[in-house]
């Protein structure tokens, strides 16, 4: 218990400085705005609510019709450990996740990461959207995220269209 007490004291000291709260509010505000912007620009996509997380990830999901029909979604993620924005192809459940991973595991995916299934793994294929986070220019950031996400979705849909029916 002493370790938790020390960590809590460190958290208190850092929070007293105020920078963490300001940065976190800016990030969450940006993610809410990004969600709204993508929902507005792409009404063909269903969009989930925002999951704020535990300072591990903050995300929302997009459901492009072609992927939703396969019980797949694209998560737009801020990954705190890597400190970057990512897009993840994910399944609606573990069975869908495993079946879809089987399709993707042997493919060539330059620029993307195929992620092996496992406990706590929520992605099948990952794409870095933005590695240098700059919330001072939200319009440019949103444009980069949107462009890269749409290309990621297109690559996935094109690949899935080439697969034989199961």
Over residues 6-33, mean pLDDT: 95
Q: What is the tens place of the pLDDT at every residue in 39-67?
A: 999 999 999 999 999 999 999 999 999 99
Query: pTM for the complete prediction?
Result: 0.93
> pLDDT value at position 166?
60
pLDDT band at 87 (very low <50, low <70, confident <90, very high): very high
Q: What is the DSSP letter of 132?
A: S
Cβ atoms of residues 71 and 93 within 8 Å: yes
Task: Kindly provide the residue ranges of all beta strands, DSSP E only, lying in 5-154, ordered along the sequence.
Answer: 46-47, 57-63, 72-79, 84-91, 112-114, 125-130
> pLDDT value at position 1?
59
Q: What is the tens place of the pLDDT at every residue in 20-35?
A: 999 999 999 999 999 9
Over residues 4-31, mean pLDDT: 95
Question: CA 27 to CA 35: how far, in whole Å?
Answer: 12
Question: CA 11 to CA 147: how far, in whole Å?
Answer: 37
Residue 73, judged by CB atoms within 10 A of its CB (0-12, 13-18, 19+), counts as buried
């Amino acid at each position: 218990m002493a370790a938790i007490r020390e960590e809590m004291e460190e958290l208190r000291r850092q929070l007293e400085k105020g920078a963490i709260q300001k940065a976190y509010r800016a990030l969450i505000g940006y993610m809410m705005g990004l969600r709204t912007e993508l929902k507005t620009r792409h009404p063909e996509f269903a969009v989930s609510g925002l999951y704020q997380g535990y300072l591990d990830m903050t995300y929302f999901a997009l459901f492009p019709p072609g992927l939703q029909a396969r019980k797949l979604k694209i998560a737009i993620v801020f990954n705190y450990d890597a400190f970057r924005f990512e897009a993840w192809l994910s399944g609606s459940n573990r069975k869908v996740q495993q079946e879809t991973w089987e399709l993707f595991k042997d493919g060539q995916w330059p620029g993307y990461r195929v992620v092996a299934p496992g406990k706590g793994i929520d992605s099948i294929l990952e794409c870095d959207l933005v590695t240098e986070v700059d919330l001072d220019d939200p319009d440019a950031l949103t444009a980069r995220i949107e462009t890269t996400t749409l290309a990621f979705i297109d690559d996935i849909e094109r690949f899935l269209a080439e697969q034989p029916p199961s």
